[in-house]
Structure 1
């Protein structure tokens, strides 16, 4: 999918120098669900998930705790790991599990690795291109609820350092956020990718055959039907409007509708762009509305109806 770039602080935020406390005994894991790393399992970008998710991924900070993070299964003592192994192989003696995150990063997670079910370390693919963490589909596809499974990692590393979590169409995320699953006709498609930005609470949906066909959905205002409609019309010729508004006066501003533009035809999306100014006496900003060209006139009428009685500019 296309790289997702967001404005962030240019100065790197240092991590705390105090070591995170850990139990003196080895981490307990249910023996019925533990998957040994010396028994490789084939990865799949489809829903080959671990249905029973009894625990969460652990974040190992090997910079602040180089000698007090990962324990030996055989001795119960901490293992000294000052840097990643050259062959990126996970020792059978390390007390880790698939999905755990090992970090040798001092600031942004550029030297951060995931434990795979094949007993190897997978380096952070960083789709942001700016040194932030991407939790890739090769890892998340192993779990039925990726957001929940990696929640402790988000808490440890900080959401500001995570750019995206790639998801399968079967992930519990969709039911939790939208109260519905995606239809089977969409789930079965292999040309669609889903990526969640936990910092901005945005879901990115991309048609892989044409990366320019990508749409972002704000969780706060999105319904599952919006995603379905966009996907179903993704192959149609698109057009767009820029809607500019500059309302002044207390009485006028009190009549301005709140939220996104309502009533647009199926397949149309409205997205706030540029700066937005909102006060009691002035509301100024602009929308980008995009959708199928065949319903362009209906979309324009819907915009005019949304702002009925108010002066706007539609380009």
Structure 2
């Protein structure tokens, strides 16, 4: 198969999968003009029109549908062959584009990336930080790290971590307003809530009590779509908030926040346990997993098994 034909076939498949020439060009790392030229050369070689182009989209012709069904598996097979050859040669190489929720990416995943790059120096890493539903296909993402609320059908999800959730407030706030003793007491305190960017809903504050999940009524005083901003508001004394341990632990250790609903042991809690947040590594195809994705998911899952930011330390018993 001529190189120009292979380039044209790859462009054609990426246009169909991504929905546009621009999306295909981004995925292939070429200009939109070059992608359009590749497609035109392929159609000229085949002697038929594969796509009907409009100003906003490309629609498959009957010939295009038949051709796509034949060549798409061939490209997947070539990609798998390259992956297996790299593995046999002992080198993992290629690009790895990772999408991750912002706070978890900033505090937990990003600090792991330098060690991953040192282990796999021929892997080029790109990170996308977003608290929204990232489209793996259109945005050319190889792997996304998501909490359970943003899992999607069609993606393979592997759980990699449980992040404890910590309810907390500034010491000055607690001295002035008192300490809530039970989850139900949150109805009488100003609460700082997270608005989920992907659907606009406020994230609930769930607890587990006797094996049953419940979310107490709260008095929402401030809302933000960024966890670190909510933490800053709490440190400034604006009220009570709910943070992942990966954000809360350093602030509690520094004395800027105090944990709530904790007994002196740090593990035994009074009356109810905050429900943890589960994180998953997501990818499109378990059967044809590129080597960079496979080694990255394994690397992160191992690193997070006993990560200090994903457990609740033994805090001293705070004063009421």
Bin of the TM-score, shorter chain as denominator length: under 0.3
More helix by share: 2
Normalization by structure 2: what TM-score? Answer: 0.23
- Larger Rg computed on CA atoms: 2
